[in-house]
Chain A
Amino acid sequence: SQQGEEDPQALSIQEGENATMNCSYKTSINNLQWYRQNSGRGLVHLILIRSNEREKHSGRLRVTLDTSKKSSSLLITASRAADTASYFCATRTIGGTSYGKLTFGQGTILTVHP
């Protein structure tokens, strides 16, 4: 079963709007990460938030983490057509013995219309 589940599965917005994607997970985590995947390409790391952090920013990205609700959200502000991609959350559970041994969600497909 998937540790992380994203919501919505697909999101379609206009350029300039904000895009919000949510991720829920089941077990306690060490950290949660967001990755982006352009069509036909590999995944690219966007941002990591640790279990003791509540919010983190990177450029137009804002990530929040609520460990009590076992959920995270990724906000992309002032979206651009180039932001069109699939976005995945990934979790590293507490006690994991191998760095980078992450569990990925199913992803949110974001389409930004010019």
Chain B
Amino acid sequence: NAGVTQTPKFQVLKTGQSMTLQCAQDMNHNSMYWYRQDPGMGLRLIYYSASEGTTDKGEVPNGYNVSRLNKREFSLRLESAAPSQTSVYFCASSDRTQRDTIYFGEGSWLTVV
């Protein structure tokens, strides 16, 4: 089982460049999430999608946009990258039938210079 797959694994961007992080899950989950992880800050929710066709802001949405392309895929876009967006990004998914358990991808390391 692939679970949650996110790409790319590593990326270096220049300030002002744009990029999209891709995420796909093969567990038929309804809900998907994008978190960022910074040293000493734990994980912070950027955006989430409770179900196909809906997206909502999380704790730190500024500077990001998302698209729930279909039930499997949830992408995160940085329109104009800033050094403050240097972080590790995690995509995740969950389903109500599994009672709140979140399944995470392996992470995408993004550096903005």
Contacts and interface: CB of A to CB of B under 8 A. Distances in A.
Contact of A99 (B35, B56, B94, B105): B94
Given A31-B100, A33-B101, A43 B95 contact: no
Given A48-B99, A92-B100, A42 B41 contact: no
A104 B100 contact: no
A90 to B, nearest CB: 8
A101 B45 CA distance: 8
Contact of A98 (B4, B50, B92, B106): B50
For this complex, into which size category does the number of interface residues on chain B fall?
20 to 34
Interface of B is mostly: strand
Contacts of A4: 42
B38 to A, nearest CB: 10
Given A33-B100, A43-B104, A100 B33 contact: yes
Which of B40, B104, B105 has the largest number of chain A CB atoms within 10 A?
B104
Interface in A2-53: 2, 4, 31, 33, 35, 40-45, 48
Contacts of A107: 42
10 contacts: A2-B41, A41-B107, A43-B43, A43-B104, A45-B103, A88-B42, A90-B43, A100-B100, A102-B102, A104-B43
Given A35-B102, A99-B95, 20 more contacts: A4-B42, A41-B107, A42-B4, A42-B105, A42-B106, A43-B92, A45-B102, A45-B103, A88-B43, A97-B50, A98-B56, A99-B94, A100-B92, A100-B93, A100-B94, A101-B48, A102-B100, A102-B102, A104-B42, A107-B42
